[in-house]
Amino acid sequence: MFSLKDRLTKLKGSWTSPNLSQTATTNEMSNPFGSGTDDGPLPVYLNGVKDTTKHRLLTPEMCDEIRSLMPTRIQLYTDWRLVYSLEQHGASLRSLYDNIAPDGKQSARVGYVLVVEDKKGGIFGAYTNEHFRPTDNRRYYGNGECFLWKLEKVPTLYIGDTKADDGAEADRSHRWSFKGFPFTGLNEFVIYCTSKFLSMGAGDGHYGLWIDSGLLNGVSNPSLTFGNETLSREGDKFHVVGLEVWRVG
């Protein structure tokens, strides 16, 4: 299915962005049609979050990083809509499946972003070309556009005596560092969901990302499908504190 050249290209390693401030350059390079503005990529608009929602996971800053690995046609969409939230819709995998299912009026050319927060504040997730749904009979689906990712907070380094203003120093003392794990082509175990769990990536008996039906606990291990690291700060087993699914487009 994949040539040797394709596989070697996929295995060059994960994609890492050391600084969120560099996202404009990254996105412009990955978008041959241009960003639409001279100053950088078009901004992302996050819709669907209720005013009463207290705990929000995804920010526009994070979106700029995540979309840098998306297909060009998906990068051009600026409308990201929240289709499932643990806080807004309840802790149930069935509720997740029901809320993110297309209503028949949507374009088939959309993407989905899964965002998870663990007990230690780690933020990670996945991008998929299809919505999550149980496939007990069909088993795996999804294509090579899918990927896993994680964000880590790292200290901000200042040059010389340069420091943030007192009022903003606390917020700017750390920044998000993005790391993405594209499809390797070593197997086709991209997405597998049942009524009992949701998963992405597999190989050698390990899931890249696995979450139970109650959206309470999860597992993350290195997988052949994405060549990923363990995604959670908690280790290979983690507790789900927050979870969102966004439709892009």
3-class state of residue 168 by DSSP: coil
- The values of phi and psi at residue 9, to 5°, are -65, -45
Residuewise pLDDT in 10s, the chain (249 residues): 445 445 444 444 555 554 443 333 333 333 433 444 455 678 999 999 999 888 999 999 999 999 999 999 999 999 999 999 999 999 999 999 999 999 877 667 899 999 999 999 999 999 999 999 999 787 899 999 999 999 987 777 666 555 555 544 545 667 778 999 999 999 999 999 999 999 999 999 999 999 999 999 999 999 999 999 999 999 999 999 999 999 999
What pLDDT score was predicted for residue 22?
A: 33
Alpha-carbon span 119 to 135, nearest angstrom: 29
Q: What is the pLDDT of residues 126-170, one digit of tens each?
A: 999 999 999 978 789 999 999 999 998 777 766 655 555 554 454
Alpha-carbon span 76 to 44, nearest angstrom: 10
8 Å CB contact between 148 and 181? yes
Q: Which long-range contacts (CB under 8 A, 24 or more apart) does 126-132 make?
A: 126/200, 126/209, 127/66, 127/69, 127/70, 128/190, 128/191, 128/200, 129/71, 130/191, 131/100, 131/101, 131/102, 131/247, 132/96, 132/97, 132/100, 132/191, 132/193, 132/198, 132/245
Q: What is the pLDDT of residues 186-212, one digit of tens each?
A: 999 999 999 999 999 999 999 999 999
**What are the extents of the domains in the chain?**
4-248
- The values of phi and psi at residue 152, to 5°, are -130, 140
> Cα–chain-centroid distance for residue 13?
17
